[in-house]
Amino acid sequence: MHRVAADPLDQLRTRTSAKWRMYDPDVLPLPVAEMDYPLAEPIAEALHAAIRRSDTGYHSGSRPVADAFAPFAAARLGWEPDPARITSTADVSMGIVEVLRRVIRPGDGVVIDPPIYPPFFDLVTEAGGTVVEVPLAGGIDEGWSLDLDGVDAAFAAGARAMVLCNPHNPVGLAHPRDQLAALAEIAARHGATIVSDEVHGPLSQPDSPYVPFLTVSDAAREHGIAVTAASKAFNLAGLKAAMIVTASERGDAVRDALPYEVEWRMSQFGSIASVAAFRHGGHWLDGVIASIDDNRRLLADLLEDELPGVRYRMPQAGYLAWLDLSVLGWGDDPAAVALERARVALAEGPKFGTDAGRGHARLNLACSPEVLSEAITRIADARTSVVE
């Protein structure tokens, strides 16, 4: 399997995106979910061609991206979405908020499962809902799973929706089909809606493929709405393009009720890049997945050699590693100490849920092996200097 090599560090530091402008130049930035790999050539060429023809107006609606996504999803994800049931929007977070606004009333409970992507807390309240936390069951040692009994109880107590992260950020869990099917049955029994964020799906590893929620059962299709994009798999977050996908008349009614402007918030460059990614980016994506696989295994070895006692479970999908750094004795937010003492930036664990994230941090694996190795060495050196 071919690999995609990350750009050199000096070249990366010329980028102006958040990852490379939030910290001082001596910091290794590994918190923000951006990849260090060069843009896939078919995407770069499509964008250059658009510039050459001054094609910088409004995008032309949902169908170009939907028509490109459908065969990509069928070939790579085992999912056959109907392009007519896809509505474009600017990004996955925006799509989640707009869907929630249609399926809950102000004040209704919305379930999330910490440790969870921190914006989920804000997306629920932005949509007018009340956050109901049902933490994942299990943990790093035994593996995680959905707390189905907890979700059932939350719906029974009045929650009307759940924002599912599938695959799960930050733990990298590709939820198994039987758990997703059981979740769909629970939602059906309570008349609730599952809004499934599937943006990390194309980055699942071959030994643990992700299961699109809308494929698992009739109940999932009836009570589920997926929101996804090329943005995470192809590193296109800045181009603003996402899709809201349904598979039932109930779901269609939600899409049909979306404000007119929701569809037109996708950017023209986002549309062009997404079409190129879905139609021509598969070879590049395979190489990125292989490189991430190398790094997730390298991280296990580095921790064993340099930071024994730090707990880590290799992610099944995505390029984010959830680390239990409690053994370092760096308090509830070890990322703050790592930044100060090691000049390594990690995502702060407590932001993923105070209880679930205490003593933890999230690390971005989509970098060169050299940067990953340097980061762990810096943290190990910082730990040793404090002990001495």
* pLDDT tens digits, one per residue of 272-302: 999 999 999 999 999 999 999 999 999 999 9
According to CATH, what is the number of the domain 9-40+282-383?
3.90.1150.10
Mean pLDDT value across residues 326-338? 98
Q: What are phi and psi of 110, to 5 degrees?
A: -130, 125
pLDDT (tens digit, 9 = 90+) per residue, 54-76? 999 999 999 999 999 999 999 99
Give me the mean pLDDT over the 334-345 stretch. 98
Residue pair 46/378 in contact by the 8 Å Cβ criterion: no
44-280 folds as: Aspartate Aminotransferase; domain 2 (3.40.640)
**Which residue type is seen at 269?**
F
pLDDT on residue 206: 95
Give pTM, 2 decimals.
0.97
Supply the pLDDT for residue 31: 97
Average pLDDT, the chain: 97
pLDDT band at 386 (very low <50, low <70, confident <90, very high): low
- Per the DSSP assignment, residues forming a β-bridge with 317 are 204
Which residues 6+ apart lie within 8 Å of 315 measured at CB?
A: 171, 172, 173, 205, 296, 321, 322, 365
- Residue ranges of the domains in the chain? 9-40+282-383, 44-280
**What value does the mean pLDDT take over residues 349-373?**
97
Inter-residue contact 161 to 190 (CB < 8 Å)? no
Cα of first residue to Cα of last residue in the chain, in angstroms, is 44
pLDDT digits (tens, 9 = 90+) for 171-214: 999 999 999 999 999 999 999 999 999 999 999 999 999 999 99
Question: Nearest to residue 178, comparing CAs of 148, 149, 198?
Answer: 148
Q: What is the pLDDT of residue 1?
A: 77
Is 387's pLDDT higher than 60? no
Q: What is the 3-state secondary structure (H, E, C) of the chain?
A: CCCCCCCCHHHHCCCCCHHHHCCCCCCEECCCCCCCCCCCHHHHHHHHHHHHCCCCCCCCCCHHHHHHHHHHHHHHHCCCCCHHHEEEECCHHHHHHHHHHHHCCCCCEEEECCCCCCHHHHHHHHCCCEEEECCCEEECCCEEECCHHHHHHHHHCCCCEEEEECCCCCCCCCCCHHHHHHHHHHHHHHCCEEEEECCCHHHECCCCCCCCHHHCCHHHHHHEEEEECCCCCCCCHHHCCEEEECCCHHHHHHHHCCCHHHHCCCCHHHHHHHHHHHHHCHHHHHHHHHHHHHHHHHHHHHHHHHCCCCEECCCCECCEEEEECHHHCCCCCHHHHHHHHHCEECEEHHHHCHHHHCCEEEEECCCCHHHHHHHHHHHHHHHHHHHC
Instruction: For the chain, give the percent of residues with pLDDT over 70.
Output: 99
> In the predicted model, what is the mean pLDDT of residues 150-173?
98
- State the pLDDT at residue 388: 47
Torsion of CA 275, 64, 175, 163, to 10 degrees: 120
pLDDT tens by residue, 27-49: 999 999 999 999 999 999 999 99
Average pLDDT in the 74-90 region?
A: 98
Instruction: Give CA 126 to chain center in angstroms.
Output: 19
